[in-house]
Amino acid sequence: MKASTPLTKNIGPENIAATIEQYQANGGYAGLKKALSTMQPNDVVETVQAANLRGRGGAGFNTGLKWSFVPRGEGSPATKYLVCNADEMEPGTFKDRLLMERDPHQLIEGMIISAYGIEAVRAYIFIRGEYHLAADRLEHAIEEAYEHGYLGHNICGTKFSLDLYVHRSAGNYICGEETALLNALEGKRANPRAKPPFPQVSGLWGKPTVVNNVETLCNISHIIANGPEWYRGLGKGADAGTKLFGVSGRVKNPGTWELPMGTSIREIIELHAGGMQDGYKLKAFLPGGGSTDFLGPEHLDLPMDYDAIGKAGSRMGTGTMIILDDKTCPIGMVRNLMRFFAKESCGFCTPCRDGLPWVEKILTDIEQGKGSVRELDQLAQQVWNMRPGNTFCALAPGAAEPLQSALKMFRKEFLDHIERGCCPYEAAETRFVGA
């Protein structure tokens, strides 16, 4: 693979779940050895911050800056934790699974370096319960890392020690929220925590904790091995590095690809995903998973980076697009998403616990031809009720994003359902699956 695709350079049909020997032969663990032999923990943090690696889980916060909030050095708590958020449950997102199943040592090396940087003594991979194959391969790779001296006591002959564990989640979508994840890891109900204190100061069992996404951590070894300037040079614009972009829906070649940050939406959909299937046209798309606002064909030439997508009225999120074609009912699609989010709510706060099921009921009535124009105002009111600041965490505001954009972009379709007394797409075989 080219040097411009560091995350997937080990991934190919002939090299599934590389052994530690294969990984090392391809440069694996060189970044770790460099960090331990030539860098102090603070150097690692500053290097990652200088690389402008932004979190790949959706928020896009500078990773090194996040690490810098952890108290380190003399006088800091002796016990610190690093947690990998591998609970990939965002609708339409499947990038982290690829990395864990096909190159588990890349994640492990990134976590060891990250733990060294924040001076953590223990690390956890909190993985989605349904990811059985990924968990099995990670556990096997961790055993190999212990056997070769990359985990355990006095790693590579240094004073640094780290233990790493895989924790298989029994939770729901809410476990993707970092503080709910920490509660679940502690054996508690997966409710979000109030902030402050932030996890970097008081996280897992009250100790300083950093939670990072799988893809974020997989970048670390490459940044340390090659330097921040190299990493910044991989991107096409202000955002550094490469990104795993994905496309699902009625395209000819759905999948995921590692591309430079700032690659245009048009290139991703038309070149890599092969364009729309014959007989279908692009109506709209969610650019970063199920909890982002719809964008339309007029946005195809936007670069996929955090600022550009934000200025267009949506979020890049996980960078995995869900395509809506012209023969699929948009109300059915949104209802399907609302049903998912309503089911996955932890039930802690009223706008989420009661608002999302109410939204699903209204959308069901509208799709079945039982709705009224008045209910469109009720949906808009629910969007307002679930805005940031009105709920305890970001689940409901995220769930409201596709709904609020659908109310604007597809008002004609909503009115057609109401005026006709039925779903105009109902007779078509392309009615949204699950609606």
Mean pLDDT across 230-252? 96
pLDDT at 432: 47
Does residue 1 surpass a pLDDT of 60?
no
Nearest to 304 by CA among 293, 288, 291, 290: 288
Does residue 13 surpass a pLDDT of 60?
yes
Q: Higher confidence at residue 294 or residue 194?
A: 294
Contacts of 158 (CB under 8 A, 6+ apart): 36, 37
| Structure confidence by residue, pLDDT tens digits, 323-337 | 999 999 999 999 999
Q: Has residue 275 been placed in a domain?
A: yes
Could you give the C-alpha distances from 406 to 48, 240, 283, 300, 355, in angstroms and in order? 38, 31, 12, 18, 17
Confidence of residue 171 (pLDDT cuts 50, 70, 90): confident
pLDDT at 93: 94
For residue 41, say if its preceding peptide bond is cis, omega within 30 degrees of 0: no
Helices (H) then strands (E): counts for the chain: 19, 8
Mean pLDDT across 158-175? 94
Question: Residue 269 sits in a domain of what CATH number?
Answer: 3.10.20.600
Q: Where are the beta strands (DSSP E) in 80-175?
A: 81-86, 122-127, 163-168
Q: Has residue 255 been placed in a domain?
A: yes
Question: Residue 394 sits in a domain of what CATH number?
Answer: 1.20.1440.230
pTM confidence score: 0.94
Confidence of residue 433 (pLDDT cuts 50, 70, 90): very low
Q: Is 91 helix (H, G, I), strand (E, B) or coil?
A: coil
Last residue of a domain, one of 294, 325, 356: 325
Which amino acid would we find at residue 128?
R
Percent of the chain with pLDDT over 70: 96
Does residue 12 surpass a pLDDT of 80?
no
Does residue 192 surpass a pLDDT of 80?
yes
Mean pLDDT across 194-219? 96
Q: Has residue 426 been placed in a domain?
A: no
Mean pLDDT across 344-354? 92
Is 208 in the same domain as 277?
Answer: no
Last residue of a domain, one of 206, 232, 258: 232
pLDDT at 429: 47
Is 11 in the same domain as 145?
Answer: yes
Last residue of a domain, one of 325, 341, 376: 325
Does residue 234 surpass a pLDDT of 70?
yes
Mean pLDDT across 152-180? 94
Cα 167 to chain centroid, rounded: 18
Confidence of residue 428 (pLDDT cuts 50, 70, 90): low
Is 188 in the same domain as 151?
Answer: yes
Does residue 147 surpass a pLDDT of 70?
yes
| Structure confidence by residue, pLDDT tens digits, 57-105 | 888 899 999 999 999 888 889 999 999 999 999 999 999 999 999 999 9
Is 255 in the same domain as 372?
Answer: no
pLDDT at 169: 93
| Longest pairwise C-alpha distance within the chain | 74
Does residue 188 surpass a pLDDT of 50?
yes
Overall domain count for the chain:
3
Is 289 in the same domain as 203?
Answer: no
Domain that holds residue 261: 242-325
Confidence of residue 14 (pLDDT cuts 50, 70, 90): low
Question: Residue 196 sits in a domain of what CATH number?
Answer: 3.40.50.11540
Q: Has residue 19 been placed in a domain?
A: yes
| Structure confidence by residue, pLDDT tens digits, 261-319 | 999 999 999 999 999 999 999 999 999 999 999 999 999 999 999 999 999 999 999 99
Is 121 in the same domain as 214?
Answer: yes
Mean pLDDT across 369-394? 94
Within 10 A of 365 (CB to CB), how many other CB atoms are there?
Answer: 16
